[in-house]
Amino acid sequence: MSLITPRRAVAIALVTSLTLSLAGCGTLFYPERKGQLPGRIDPGVAIADGIGLLFFIVPGVIAYAVDFSNNTIYLPSEAGAGVDATHLDGPVDSARVDALLASRGLPRGWQEEVVRVERPRDLGQALAWIESSRVDLAAR
């Protein structure tokens, strides 16, 4: 008598496939993409999530939902937009901000702009601020 019956083998295969699809293919393949800004969809991840639809509808839909919610289904942006955190010790004044911008090759005319210096409570809030600044710049 074998230890693994056909019924048990089907149950193991079902649990394994559901577990993998619940994690989302993009989240498994590219965990470094988690939290990036939306952009072009990665066809490889979309096809891998679509394969989940072939087995059962629910695992495929869950895989797409997980990848879209984590933003791991998107290709990395060529523009390189993101959050650049810099820790500054001591008081922050205009001269230090100018020196920091110059060291990164950015323009120094930030005094003419409305600048918000604030610590976001989490990555979601930081990404929302970046997205809103992209909309403001496009409107100009």
pLDDT at 140: 47
Least confident of 7-16, 38-47, 64-73, 112-121: 112-121
Say if 87 falls within a structural domain. Answer: no
For residue 113, the enclosing domain spans 94-139
- On whether residue 13 sits in a domain, the answer given is yes
Specify if 17 maps to a domain.
Answer: yes
Q: Tell me the C-alpha distance between 99 and 27, whole Å.
A: 38
User: Residues in the chain, how many?
Assistant: 140
What pLDDT, in 10s, does the model give residues 17-42? 666 655 677 888 888 888 787 888 88
Number of domains in the chain: 2
Give per-residue burial for 79-118: e unless 16+ CB within 10 Å, then b. Answer: eeeeeeeeeeeeeeeeeebeeeeeeeeeeeeeeeeeeeee
Pick the more confident residue, 112 or 11. 11
15 and 63 both lie in a single domain: yes
The pLDDT value recorded for residue 88 is: 73
Q: Is residue 77 a part of any domain in this protein?
A: no
* pLDDT score recorded for residue 55: 73
Q: Is residue 54 part of a domain?
A: yes
Task: Report which of 77, 79, 82 is spatially closest to residue 39, judged by C-alpha positions.
Answer: 77
Span 69-115, pLDDT tens digits? 888 888 887 655 455 667 777 777 778 877 877 787 776 665 665 55
Among left, alpha and beta (phi > 0; psi -120 to 50; other), residue 23 is: alpha
What is residue 61's predicted lDDT score, i.e. its pLDDT? 83
Q: Of 36, 70, 104, which marks where a domain is finished?
A: 70
Q: Is residue 26 part of a domain?
A: yes
State whether 45 and 99 are in the same domain.
no
Is 86 inside any structural domain? no
Residue 65 clears pLDDT 80, i.e. is over it: yes
Kindly state whether residues 19 and 62 are assigned to the same domain.
yes
What is the structure's pLDDT at 85? 65
Domain identity same for 66 and 111: no
Shared domain for 53 and 98, answered yes or no, is no
Q: Is residue 35, in this structure, part of any structural domain at all?
A: yes
pTM for the model stands at 0.45
Cβ pair 24, 70 in contact under 8 A: yes
Residues 98 and 62 in one domain: no
- What element of type H or E holds 47? helix 43-55
